[in-house]
Amino acid sequence: MRLGAGCFVALLLTSCSYSSVEPLSLTGFIGGPGRGIGRFFQPRAITALPGGDCIVIDRSGRAQHFDQDGKLEGVWMLPEWSAGHPIDLCLTEQGTLLVADTHYMRIIEFEVDGNEIRRFGEEVGLELVRGIDVAPDGSILVASYGEKDRIFRFDRNGRLLSIWGERGDGPDQFLRPEGITVTEDGTVLVVDCGHHRILRFSLEGDHLQTVGGSGRAPGEFDDPFDIDSLSDGSFVVVDKSGCRVQRFRSDGTLIAAQGGAGTSSGRLSEPRGIAVGEHDGQVRILVADTGNHRVVVSQLPGGF
């Protein structure tokens, strides 16, 4: 099908609507398009490891381990992936990985080399498992959506502690919760994707703060997808449709917005994952640049 000139211009304007955003302060790339070892097919789940390493899961059902310089250290396959692929994973204090096995409605714990340790959450009402993170007290927070949009909290042994949250349009309700991070003060930040905002809760589910809203201005969101937090209380959010990374102070004020749609250096295409890491004493961010089939390594927006 051929597009008329008017349609072509409209699509061009839409695809370039974020080109005016300052590009990410790029320090490098990991991977690139392809299904071979060290390459990616739509990477989405990403987490940083100590020393600057990272683990990335893409839609080929693989988890790949890269060192701080982007060199491949190992690769392993998920036990099942025909029904769908994980959206998120996180590192525990014990050095293991918790994978939100999205379409199998469960959590799987692995060693970093891919040896499976255990599974849990399959019989407590989890639906599509999205974001996952570990709180300072060791409890595990999981975002789930489907017929219900809720947050599940497990203890370190995988026993269910509580379920809170619900679908709706209220100030403390969700419409497709996605990414989740637990800050050092023990509060929980949830990406409320359908409402284009970030919600902060206590570990018990008390609503504390709302950040952002639908829009394209700095500090607003267009399909936010993942989030990670820093030791200073600030947090970074990646916008899937907005193709940008925004960093906020703990009080919700914007520090910086970078990215913009594109394939060139510092630009993004439908990014779905973000992780804060450290390399040579410098804080950096790792972005799963899904549409460009790569991981973008960047300086922290706004500095540290």
What pLDDT, in 10s, does the model give residues 202-232? 999 999 999 999 999 999 999 999 999 999 9
Buried b (16+ CB within 10 A) or exposed e, 233-266: ebbbbbbbbbbbbbbbebeeebbbbbbbbbeeeb
State the pLDDT confidence band at 9, using cuts at 50, 70 and 90.
very low
Beta partners for residue 227, in sequence order: 237
What is the pLDDT at residue 15? 40
SS3 156: coil
What is the pLDDT at residue 222? 97
- Output the CA torsion 273→274→277→280 (10° steps): 100
- Per the CB < 8 A criterion, the answer to whether 111 and 117 are in contact is yes
| Rounded distance between C-alpha atoms, residue 47 and residue 27, angstroms | 18
Reported as a single tens digit per residue, the pLDDT across 165-196 is 999 999 999 999 999 999 999 999 999 999 99
Residue 142 neighbours by CB under 8 Å, 6+ apart? 100, 107, 121, 126, 129, 130, 131, 132, 151, 152, 153, 154, 180
Structure tokens at 86: 């994980």
Which secondary structure element, helix H or strand E, spans residue 160, and what is its range? strand 160-164
- Per the CB < 8 A criterion, the answer to whether 32 and 43 are in contact is no
CB 105: neighbour CB atoms within 10 A? Answer: 19
Domains of the chain from N-terminus onward: 5-299 (2.120.10.30)
The closest alpha carbon to 140, from 127, 128, 151, 124, belongs to 151
pTM of the model: 0.93
Lowest-pLDDT range of 12-16, 66-70, 97-101, 131-135: 12-16
- Per the CB < 8 A criterion, the answer to whether 64 and 38 are in contact is yes
- In order of 66, 180, 276, the CA distances from 286 in angstroms are 12, 16, 6
